[in-house]
Chains A and B, each alone.
Chain A
Amino acid sequence: MTDTAATRTNQIGTALPRKEDAKLVTGQTTWTDNIQFPGMLYMSVLRSPMAHARITGVDVSAALEQPGVLAAFSGADLADEWAGPLPCAWPVTPDMVHPDHWPLATDEVRYAGDGVAVVVARDRFAASDALEHIMVDYEPLEAVVDMEKALEDQVLVHGDKGTNKSFFWQLENGDLDTAFNDAPVVVKRRFINQRLIPTAIEPRAVVVAPIAAAGEYTMYSATQIPHILRLMLTLTTGVPESKLRVVAPDVGGGFGSKLNVYAEEVLALVLAKKLSRPIKWTETRSEGYLATIHGRDQIQDMEIAADADGRIRAIRANLYADMGAYLQLVTPGIPVLGAFMYNGIYKMDAYSFNCTGVFTTKTPTDAYRGAGRPEATYALERMIDELAVELDMDPMELRRRNWIKHEEFPYDTISGLTYDSGNYEAATAKAMKLFDYDGLRAEQQRRRAAGDRMQLGLGISTYTEMCGLAPSRVLGSLDYGAGGWEQATVRMMPSGTVEVVVGTSPHGQGHETTFSQIAADALGMDYKDIEVLHGDTKVSAQGLDTYGSRSLAVGGIAVHKAAERLVDKLKVAAAHMLEASADDLEFVDGNFRVQGSPEASKSIGDVALGVFASHDLPDGYEPTLSAEVTFDPENFSFPHGTHLCAVEVDTETGMPHILKYVCVDDVGNVINPQVVGGQVHGGLAQGIAQALFEEAVYDAEGNLTTGSLVDYYVPGAPDLPDFITERTETPATSNPLGVKGVGEAGTIASTPAVVNAVLDAIRHLGVSELDMPCSPERVWRALQEGSASRDQIAPERAEGGQQ
C-alpha cells in the first residue's frame, strides 16, 4: 500500500466517483440475459389470456413437433416436481387465508398471465413460436377485479377457500371514542391508491446451469434477493441449499419487483434438472407486465378528528388492500407495514389502523418502492391538507402545530414506534426558503384574482418513514418469516488491498462505492483499494439481501464494524512488531503508531504482510486477515423531510405541470452525497409518476389494458421537472454511522405533495376530490364537474378567465 493511499481518512461524506460506472458506460456488463452456456436452452411460458377460467385440458404434443423444441410440459405434467408451493413468507395473521400457489396452474387460472404450460427449445424464438401450438381448453369463469365486490364473495378467486378475504389486521391505541365523539372537526375521505407496475428497466431473466450428475445447480437471476431465493428454491424444489448457488449478476433496477420468488425461477431450475441442460428465460416487457408483481392498489378510508385550533386528536385508517390472485413473497405484509406510518410525524391522542387483504383475479401485488409507506404518507398528507381546508388554515401552519418537536426526541409514537431523532423544523425552514413559499402564495393569489387560465397550486408533504429493515425481533413480532440482520466480512490481502464481502447486493444503488468508502475510512485506505463482493451465495455466505432501504443502515454498519474489528486484530500484531503494548497504539491514517513517539509506526499494509508471513507473531495469535460481523439493529431508522411542489394547471385543458419541486430530506449522515442525491431524484420520479402518470388498469373481464409500455405511462425526461434537492443531517442514534437509508424516501414523500398542489390550484374552482393519476383528462373532467356545481350556486359567475 502506498503512503498517499494511507492518508485518506475522510472519504465518508465525500462525493467520490462511482466505482460501478466503468462497466456500465462501456457496455461491459453481465446482465442475466447476457449469460451464455454451451448447450443452453430457452424456456418460454404459455400464459392464460383469461383472468379466470377452469382448465379442462392442455395438449403440448403439437408444440413438441415444432423445430428446435426439446420439451414441453403442462402444469399437471410438472405437478410432482414440487416440494412445496411458491412461498409467502409473511403470514400476517394466524388465520390468514393462504392458497397454494404452484409455478404453473393445473386446474384453474386466476389472472390474465397465470402460467399454464412451458416450452424448452434451442433458441428464444423457437420457444416462443412453439407456444402457439399448445392447445389449452378453458372453461371461462367470472372475473372479479373490484375489491369491494370481491368481498361479497359472489365470485371466488379460490373456490375451495370459500372467501376472497385473506386477512384482517388491526392496530389501535388510545381512546378513539373520546377523541372522535365530541371533536369540533372531523374530516372523512376515501382515497384510491392506484395499482402501479414497477417497471425496472431490465426485464426479469433467469439462467440455470446444472451439473446434474452431481445434483449441483447455479442460478443466475435478475433478483434483489439471492440468499432468500436460495432458501426458497430449496423449499419449492427440494434441491438441498448446499447444492444451490444463486448469483445476482448485474441487475438493472428492482424497486421491489425483483424482491420475490417467481414461478419462472423455480421452473428453470426444475427443467435444468430434468433436462440436464442450462436453461435461460427472459421475460418480454409485456409479459412482465402480467407476470411480475404490481404495487400499491389500496382503498384507503381515512378519518381525522381535530380541535378547532387544528390540534389533531385522532386518525383512523381503514384499508382494503388488493393481494391480486395469490400471495407472493411478502404480499400481505406490504399494507401492514403502513400500519405504523398513518400517524407520520404528528402527535395525537388516539389511532386506529386496520387492513383487509382481498383476493381478486389480477396479477399479485407485492413490494414496490416504499412498500406500504408511500400509501400511508399519501393518505395522511392528503388528509392534513383536507383538514387545513376545513379549518381554513395554512397547511404548513397546521403541520407545525402537530408535529413532534425537535426537543421531544426520542419520541414514542401513537402507533408504537420510537423515533430516535428528527428535526422537522430545520428541514421545513430550509425547504420553505428554497421554495419561496410566501412568494408563490402571493403569485397564487394574483392568478386567482385575475382568473388566470393557468392556475397555481402549492402542495406540501412533511413525511417520515421507517426503514432500514430491520430489527429481527420486531420483524418476528410482525410474523415475518425471517430476521433483519446483515453480514459483512472485511479481509485484507497480503499485498494490502482489501475485499469486503456483503450480504446485500445492489441493482443501481452504488453499494460498491458506498461500502468501499465506509471500509476505507475505518482502515485508513483509499477506497479504490477496496473491492466489494456481493450477489453470489458462493462468495457471500449469509445475507438477507436488498429492500426496505436497509443496505446502508444495516449492511453498511456491518461493514463498518467488521473493518473496525479487523483493525483491532491487526493492532495486536502491530504492537508485537513495534514492541509496544496494544493499549499504547493509536491508529491514524492507516498507520499504527506508538502514542507519543510517532516515528515508531507501522502501516496497516505492513502489518497485514507480517501477519500473512506469520514468522513473528505473538504467542497464540491466529494469523487471520479477516473479520466478520453480523449486525442486527435495535430499531428502524426514520428519514424525514419536507417536500414542496408548485403545480400549474391549465384550466382549459386540465394539463398539470410541475413548476417547481423542492425537497429537503434528512437521511441522517451521508456517506456519498452524489449517490444520495441520485437516490432522491429517482424516488421523486417514481412518486411523481404515481401522482400524475401511472396506473395499471383492468377492465371488468380482468384484462390488463395497460399491458405494455405503450399504454402504461412511464415518464420520460420532458415529463419531469428539474428537482431542487437539499438535505439536513440529523444523525440516527441507532447506529454508529448515524445513517438512515435513502432508497425509498423520495417515492414515499413526493406523491401527496404533487396531488395536494394540483388540488390547491383548482379547489377554488369547485374541485375537492381528484383520483390519481391526475391526468389532464381527469383534471379537466373534475374542472367541468366543479364548474357545474359552482354554476348551481352562482350561475352568474363567469368561467375561469382568460390569460
Chain B
Amino acid sequence: MPRISVTVDGVTYEDDVEPRLLLVYYLRDTLGLTGTNVGCDTSNCGACTVLFDGRSVKSCTVLAVQADGATIMTIQGLATNGEWHPLQKAFHSEHGLQCGYCTPGMIMSSVDLLEQNPDPTDDEIRHGLEGNLCRCTGYKNIVSAVRTAASEMQSSQQEVTS
C-alpha cells in the first residue's frame, strides 16, 4: 500500500492507504475526523468539501494518495484558538443551517468563495455555492450568512490594514 504524508488541520499524519481510498474516507475512517460528511456518491452534494492546499475540493473526488504532501483543512480546523471563523459565526447568526449535515461543506466552499471574491453579490454567492446542496434552508439564509461574513471579514481586514 502506498504511504502518504498529509497535513490535516495543522497535524501531519503518515499512513499506508489503499490506492482506491477516497480522501473523505481517509479523513473520516482513518483519522476519525468525522466533521466532514458524505452526502452522495456522485460528487453532486458537496457535503464533503474541504480545503486542499487552500482551494475547496469535494473530498469524495480526491484519492487519499493524491493528498500526499498536501495541506488539508476541514471544518474541524477552521476556528482559530477556539474562536469561530466569521463564516461559522454568520451561519449561526443568520440561521444558515438547520440539520447541519451540509454545513461543513457549505462553509468550506464559502471560505474559498470569499477568498476568490471577498465582496460577492447575492447572485455570485448563489452561483459560487452551486456545487453544495442543502435540503433544509432553501439557501436564503445561507446567502445572507455568506454576505454577512464577507462584510465582517472586509471590515476586520480594514481594521488590520488601517
**Residues on A close to B: CB < 8 A?**
17-18, 20-29, 31, 33-34, 36, 123-125, 199-203, 250-253, 255, 284-286, 507-510, 674-675, 677-679, 681-686, 708-710, 714, 716-718, 720, 722-723, 746
**B54 in the interface, Cβ–Cβ < 8 Å?**
no
User: Quick check: B126 and A253 within 8 Å, CB to CB?
Assistant: no
Find the A residue at minimum CB distance from B129: A717
User: Quick check: B35 and A718 within 8 Å, CB to CB?
Assistant: no
- Residue from the list A21, A675, A683 in contact with B100, Cβ < 8 A: A21
Of A252, A509, A685, A717, which is in contact with the most chain B CB atoms at under 10 Å from its CB?
Answer: A717
User: Quick check: A708 and B37 within 8 Å, CB to CB?
Assistant: no
- Residue from the list A18, A36, A250, A679 in contact with B92, Cβ < 8 A: A18
Find the A residue at minimum CB distance from B134: A201
Known: A286-B41, A709-B44, A717-B143. A27 touches B75 (CB 8 A): yes
* Chain B 69-89 interface residues, beta-carbon cutoff 8 Å to A: 74-76, 78-79, 84, 88
CB of B17 to closest CB in A, whole Å: 12
Distance in angstroms between the alpha carbons of A45 and B37 in the assembled complex: 22
User: Quick check: A716 and B42 within 8 Å, CB to CB?
Assistant: no
User: Quick check: B129 and A17 within 8 Å, CB to CB?
Assistant: no
Query: B18 to chain A: which residues have CB within 8 Å?
Result: 125
Distance in angstroms between the alpha carbons of A200 and B135 in the assembled complex: 6
Find the A residue at minimum CB distance from B9: A27
User: Quick check: B75 and A718 within 8 Å, CB to CB?
Assistant: no
Distance in angstroms between the alpha carbons of A253 and B37 in the assembled complex: 13
Known: A21-B92, A710-B44, A716-B129. A255 touches B100 (CB 8 A): no
Query: A125 to chain B: which residues have CB within 8 Å?
Result: 18, 20
**A/B interface sample: 14 pairs, CB < 8 A:** A21-B91, A25-B92, A201-B133, A201-B135, A202-B99, A253-B101, A255-B135, A681-B141, A682-B136, A685-B137, A717-B125, A717-B134, A718-B123, A723-B138
User: Quick check: B39 and A201 within 8 Å, CB to CB?
Assistant: yes
User: Quick check: A678 and B103 within 8 Å, CB to CB?
Assistant: no
Distance in angstroms between the alpha carbons of A201 and B104 in the assembled complex: 12
User: Quick check: B138 and A20 within 8 Å, CB to CB?
Assistant: no
Query: B42 to chain A: which residues have CB within 8 Å?
Result: 285-286, 708-710
Number of A-B contacts (CB under 8 A): 179
CB of A37 to closest CB in B, whole Å: 13
Query: B134 to chain A: which residues have CB within 8 Å?
Result: 201, 717
CB of B50 to closest CB in A, whole Å: 10
Query: B135 to chain A: which residues have CB within 8 Å?
Result: 199-201, 253, 255, 682, 685-686, 714
User: Quick check: A252 and B84 within 8 Å, CB to CB?
Assistant: no
CB of B157 to closest CB in A, whole Å: 21
Known: A25-B91, A285-B39, A718-B127. A201 touches B45 (CB 8 A): yes
Residue-wise, chain B 80-124 has the 8 Å CB interface mask toward A (1 for contact) of: 000010001001110101111111100100000000000000110
Distance in angstroms between the alpha carbons of A683 and B123 in the assembled complex: 21
Query: B129 to chain A: which residues have CB within 8 Å?
Result: 716-717
Known: A17-B92, A718-B127. A252 touches B45 (CB 8 A): no
Distance in angstroms between the alpha carbons of A404 and B136 in the assembled complex: 32
A252-B102, A255-B135, A678-B141 provided; 7 other pairs, C-beta below 8 A? A25-B100, A201-B45, A253-B135, A508-B136, A716-B131, A717-B126, A722-B140
CB of A614 to closest CB in B, whole Å: 41
**B148 in the interface, Cβ–Cβ < 8 Å?**
no
Q: Which 4 pairs of residues, A with B, have the shortest CB-CB distance?
A: A27-B35, A24-B100, A252-B101, A508-B99
Of B76, B102, B134, B142, which is in contact with the most chain A CB atoms at under 10 Å from its CB?
Answer: B134
